[in-house]
Amino acid sequence: MKVGDLTMLANWCINGPCLMHIVKIGHDVQAIYLQGPKIGTIGKVAPSNLFALDKYDAAMKEHYDRR
CATH of the domain at 10: 2.30.30
Q: Is residue 1 part of a domain?
A: no
Q: How many domains does one find in the chain? A: 1
Return the pLDDT at 33.
98
Domain that holds residue 51: 6-65
Residue ranges of the chain with pLDDT lower than 50?
A: none
Question: What pLDDT, on the 0 to 100 scale, is given for residue 20?
Answer: 98
The whole-angstrom distance between residue 39's C-alpha and the CA centroid of its chain comes to 13
Output the pTM of the full model: 0.86
How far apart are the C-alpha atoms of 28 and 6, rounded to whole Å?
16
What span, in angstroms and rounded, lies between the C-alpha atoms of 11 and 37? 15
pLDDT of residue 27: 85
- The answer as to whether 14 is a domain residue is yes
